[in-house]
Structure 1
Amino acid sequence: MFLSKVSLCLTLIFVLCSRNIEAQFNPNYASGRTTMVHLFEWKWDDIAVECENFLGPKGFGGVQVSPVNENVVAASRPWWERYQPISYLLTTRSGNEQQFADMVRRCNNVGVRIFVDVVFNHMTGDNVNARGTGGSTADPSNKSFPAVPYSNLDFHPTCSINNYNDKYEVRNCELVGLKDLDQSKSWVQDRVVDFLNHLISLGVAGFRVDAAKHMWPEDLEKIYNRVNNLSTTHGFDTGARPFIFQEVIDLGGEAVSKNEYTNLGVVTEFAHSNSIGKVFRGKDQLRWLINWGPQWGFLNSDRALIFVDNHDNQRGHGAGGADILNYKTSKQYKMASAFMLAHPFGITRVMSSFAFDNTDQGPPTTDGQNIASPIFNDDNSCSGGWVCEHRWRQIYNMVGFRNIVAGTAIQNWWDNGSNQIAFCRGSKGFVAFNGDSYDLNTSLQTCLPAGTYCDIISGVKSDSGCTGKRVEVGSDGRATISITQAEEDGTLAIHFESKL
């Protein structure tokens, strides 16, 4: 009897731990929402307003925000200074702790979750008398960061990463000279856990773990398991775990594999970004998208955080090189984004950029130091140096499309044997793409009830009107779909809520 009770207790512990870990794969979105946006380098006050005025009403599920902790003040204020920590104080060019907490509260109130980009693989590199955005100072050359505090006892010995086929070098040496923390040490684990738990107490829903590839999975597991459940006072369910998505760049051929991290949390699937760029640049035919997903070498859908571009590879950094699409190739970029959002694979993230002419350039400023707020135009677009892809009609309407068709499968796939494709999402939505150098004009099965529908790519539904194309669906569910080669957009999309 005693043994059976012990066995039962062990089983219960195992089940509870399993549920605990599994919960880290749930983005904790409000009901009916499926996609996050990365508002790269936005200020906290501006994000709060954007949640209330745009993201919430348009059905976005969450925001990935730039690193929130104090970073080094670098000459000319490049974007990458945010990835060189000085301390875990919540003071950056985006705002202070009070502004951050207010943003999280206001976004949660309108059903938009906040995911923090957390940097704890390393501290800053060699900057003599380094000064941080919160006024803290450090001596990186001696691995001294008193505002944490960290000393040279908390870091790996100095060495450079020269060989990515040596996993020990990748995880124990310094990434581009940044002082590499030793996450196996209890003091370091304590400081990181305190930092993450503080963010949870302020209402965040999860974390993007920067440079996870450069940390040992067993060390990350210890840290993740000590992080608190999400805050019920901020509206999360009892026992809800923070969503964890880890940056692991893996296009194959290296010692560290993305598969080593999938039991800990979701992984950023850079192979998706690389492959979708090749397809919509014309290096692969669209017809091959029929088996999009793990057959392309991607992780399983529930483990893959997917995107067309991110803040690194849109600048040619990280992985993918010239194949990566960004806002500068706008037609192909919108088509790739629409396909990502129309297809059921993966956990989707939309990029929202500022314009850049060189790869180091930081966000727009008012005076060379302080970040400028985006300027919003009458057509919802941004100016003032901000691109705001998430405000492009072709993208935010497809975020809504993904919400509407959630839970349905692809059916009635059609292609012309080349670069024209179309498919239904159950009986809720239909999408078509023309990547050829000639027009698409043919009768296709939409899987939708008879009626007139507004194409959400070329326009928006307004009461009983439509500012874009109208699609007439017959009693058999078929419609004549037309996308000319010369059109601004190479995509057409309709769903049951776009019926006029």
Structure 2
Amino acid sequence: MHRRRLRSAIVALGAIAGVLLPAVVAAPPAAAAPAGTKKVIANLFEWNWTSVASECQSTLGPKGYGWVQVSPPQEHVRRSEWWVSYQPVSYRIESRKGTRAQFTSMVDTCHAAGVKVIVDAVVNHMSGQDTPGTGWAGSSFSHYDYPGTYQSQDFHYCGRPGNEISNYGDRWEVQNCELVNLADLKTESEYVRSRLAAYLNDLLSLGVDGFRMDASKHMPAADIAAIKAKLSRSAYIVQEVIYGAGEPITPNEYTGNGDVHEFRYGKDLARVFRSERLAYLRNFGEGWGHLPSSVSAVFVDNHDTQRDFGGVLTYNDRGIYALANAFMLAWPYGSPTVMSSYTFGNRDQGPPQDSSGRTLNTTCYSGWECEHRWPVIANMVGFRNATEGAGVANWYDNGYQHIAFSRTGKGYLTVNDEDFAITGRSYYTGLPAGRYCDVIHGTYSNGTCSGPVITVDANGWFAATVPAHDAIAIHVGARLS
């Protein structure tokens, strides 16, 4: 097996001559995406509303992110862990991340910065707390009683031990029993559907543009369709349906409602970067049995896979993580989401918070990782925007860890994940002649580049050295001349 050392951080690069012969590869189908010309989503996991608003102005808008995904905004149980946001006790828009007024202001501010807002919507269940309690905003509740919202008849009681899912090979059990003790809503009920739609419509009235439907696998696709039909206006929908080999519930069932998260993508990409060959990525996506590109939402990692499902790259992988995100943003399969994390030492650890449990304002690199700001990742958002709609051409690989490809007439990426530099090479880009900012190592702004400049000659070629575990990316939106 081709083995590599631990990856170094991305470093600067030089230039030297040589030849890499291009090959033509069939382009993947057009990427799925929320509406709009800017497709990339930033998942600001557990950020408070004041910080999200500020980030839309300072970073997301200027860097070209089209959407921001925010964590569940409804009232939740009072605890410190990250998962309290996924334990609703009412649909009041008040949580440890902020008030309804702050949420509304955040949406307006993001819109003014050209960024649309996706809410992580918890619609499959309520809390998992067995003892009665009081929620963040003061609402009283018990496990199966949420005064003014739901009563005992609005939940499933499946008759299995502990009312829990134990067999993922049983469709009925997965969609009628409880996921880790979370009170499972009877989403086939007209009342429950209407109540959920009222919550989503309230968010739409505040300007929200779309929803990530949490735990969609635990609801029949028809139930989600019925809730969607009650929305007051159109909204982008992406559904969390985790693929399980041999399981009866499959992600394909949900594509009629909207996009679906392709969980295999991050695992497959991590395996390739860690222990296989980048050359295998030549047909990555549908060629690997993934969902059709037009309905697939992809990510290197998300808040769950970082903690629970294993086998993915995360911020802890540093340079290799940046390279994997660069590939995701350059490769035209699915609709990409960039994760933005806080640092955690155990799987349950919540975000930075004060003594009352209120989420602190985000200060990047002080308890928050802010991967969406890493220069390689942030600059590749511009690459994605500039190459939108262009197919793949001029594929090259050395059979192992060095790959290169064009986004026809719009951009070019080469990645070297070997343990040694690739020297004495030239690359055919198919781009117009000119000087381009290498956005892996520099930021393009107002006709200038803070890093290396790549010169493409009149025939569409450039010469460069690519250091070990590094890359070069150029695109027409970062052309100097």
Residue in 1 that maps onto 2:145? 144
Distance 1:454 1:155, change over 3 A: same
Equivalent in the alignment of 2:186: 182
Counterpart-to-counterpart distance in 1, 2:167 and 2:464:
51
Segment drifting more, 430-439 vs 362-371: 362-371
Residue 357 (1) aligns with residue 360 (2): no
2:176 is matched with: 172
Structure 1 residues 35-44 or 446-455, which shifts more? 446-455
Shift of the 174–464 alpha-carbon distance from structure 1 to 2, 3 Å rule, reads closer
1:187: Cα distance to partner? 1.2
* Cα drift, residue 368 of structure 1: 5.9
The runs of at least 4 aligned residues of structure 1 exceeding 4 Å deviation read 462-465
Aligned partners of 1:245, 1:255: CA distance in 2, in Å?
A: 20
Question: Following the alignment from structure 1 to structure 2, what is the Cα–Cα distance between the partners of residues 190 and 26?
Answer: 27
SS in structure 1 at match of 2:336: strand
Gapped regions of structure 1 (runs ≥ 5)? 1-24, 230-240, 376-381
CA RMSD of aligned residues (A): 1.4
CA distance in 1, matches of 2:479, 2:200: 45
Map 1:246-395 → 2, pairs under 5 A? 246-281=239-274, 283-315=275-307, 317=308, 319=309, 321=310, 323-367=311-355, 369-375=357-363, 382-395=364-377
User: Residue 442 of structure 2 aligns with which residue?
Assistant: 459
- Compared with structure 1, are the counterparts of its residues 463 and 138 closer, same or farther at alpha carbon in structure 2 (3 Å cutoff)? closer
TM-score, normalisation: structure 1: 0.86
Name the CA distance, whole Å, in 2 between partners of 1:338 and 1:365.
31
CA contact (8 A) 1:271 1:297 kept: no
Residue 302 of structure 1, CA deviation? 1.2
**Using the alignment, how far apart are the partners of 1:138 and 1:61 within structure 2?**
38
Matched letter for residue 247 of structure 2: E
Counterpart selection for 1:447 from 427, 430, 434: 430
**79-88 or 359-368, which moves further after superposition?**
359-368
- The count of aligned residue pairs is 444
- Aligned residues of 1:454 and 1:498 also touching (Cα < 8 A): yes
1:411 aligns with 2:411: no
Match status 1:218 vs 2:201: no
CA deviation digits over 1:391-446, x for unaligned, max 9?
Answer: 11100100110001111111100111111000111111110001111212211102
Distance 1:365 1:296 in 2: 41
Contact 2:50 2:361 in 1 (8 A): no
Confirm whether residue 67 of structure 1 aligns to residue 72 of structure 2. Answer: yes
AA partner of residue 173 (structure 1)? C
| Structure-2 separation of matches of 1:424 and 1:269 | 24
Superposition deviation, residue 192 in structure 1: 0.3
1: CA distance, partners of 2:268 / 2:291: 13
- The alignment partner of 1:63 has SS state of strand
> Residue 361 of structure 1 aligns to which amino acid in structure 2?
Q
SS of the residue corresponding to residue 197 of structure 1 reads: helix
CA offset digits 1:213-243 (Å, max 9, x no partner): 00011111111111111xxxxxxxxxxx201
Correspondences of 1:472-483 after superposition (within 5 Å): 472-483=455-466
For 1:402, the equivalent position in structure 2 comes to 384
Counterpart of 1:130 in structure 2 is 133
Distance 1:477-1:124 versus aligned 2 partners, 3 A rule? same
Give CA-to-partner distance per residue, 1:231-276, whole Å, 9 cap, x none.
Answer: xxxxxxxxxx201000000042212111111111110100111111
Partner residue in 2 for 1:91: 94
Partner residue, 1:492: 472
Q: Secondary structure at the match of 2:58?
A: helix
Superposed displacement of residue 450, structure 1? 2.3
C-alpha separation in 2, matches of 1:179 and 1:464:
55
1:70 to partner: Cα distance: 0.6
8 Å CA contact 1:461–1:467 kept in 2: the answer is yes
Give the corresponding residue for 1:236.
none
User: What's the TM-score, normalizing by structure 2?
Assistant: 0.90
Is 2:58 the partner of 1:53?
yes
| Aligned counterparts of 2:328 and 2:70: Cα–Cα separation in 1 | 21
Alignment of 1:203-242 (within 5 A): 203-229=207-233, 241-242=234-235
Which SS does the other structure have where 2:192 is aligned? helix
2:412 maps to 1:430: yes
Sort the Cα spacing of 1:464 and 1:349 in 2 relative to 1 into closer, same or farther, 3 A.
closer
Matches of 1:210 and 1:481, distance apart in 2: 45
User: Structure 2 regions of 5+ residues with no counterpart?
Assistant: 1-31
SS of alignment partner, residue 176 of structure 1: coil
* Corresponding position of 1:107: 110
Corresponding residue for residue 81 of structure 1: 84
Q: Please state whether the residue corresponding to 2:180 is helix, strand or coil.
A: helix
Three-state SS of the structure 1 residue aligned to 2:329 is: helix
Inter-partner Cα distance in structure 2 for 1:390 and 1:436 = 25
The answer as to whether partners of 1:364 and 1:384 remain within 8 angstroms in 2 is no
The one of the two structures with greater contact order (alpha-carbon pairs below 8 A, sep at least 6) is 2
Aligned-partner Cα distance in 1 for 2:148–2:370: 35
Q: Which is worse superposed, 269-278 or 440-449? A: 440-449
Secondary structure of residue in 2 paired with 1:200 = helix
AA aligned opposite 1:145: Y
CA separation in 2, counterparts of 1:449 and 1:264? 41
For the 8 Å contact 1:206–1:244, the answer to whether it is kept is yes
Quote the Cα distance in structure 1 between the aligned partners of 2:114 and 2:449: 28
Separation (CA, whole Å) in 2 of partners of 1:462 and 1:167 = 52
Per-residue deviation, 1:453: 2.0
Contact preservation (8 Å) 1:27, 1:205: no
1:461 is displaced (CA, Å) by 3.0
* Cα pair distance change 1:499/1:214, threshold 3 Å: same
Give the Cα separation in 2 of the matches to 1:466 and 1:262.
41
Change beyond 3 A, Cα 1:173–1:482: same
Q: Distance in 1 between the 2:441 and 2:336 partners?
A: 22
Matched, 1:44 2:13: no
Q: Is the 8 A contact 1:174 1:180 kept in 2?
A: yes
1:28 aligns with 2:10: no
Mapped pair 1:160 → 2:164: yes
Query: Per-residue displacement from partner, 1:61-86 (whole Å, max 9, x unpaired)?
Result: 01110001111112xx0000100110
Identity %: 43
Using a 3 Å threshold, how does the CA distance of structure 1 residues 160 and 463 change in structure 2: closer, same or farther?
A: closer
In 2: Cα distance, 1:284 partner to 1:482 partner:
23
Work out the CA distance in 2 between the residues paired with 1:296 and 1:251: 15
Q: Do 1:123 and 1:178's aligned partners in 2 also have CA atoms closer than 8 Å?
A: yes
1:280 is paired with a residue whose SS is helix
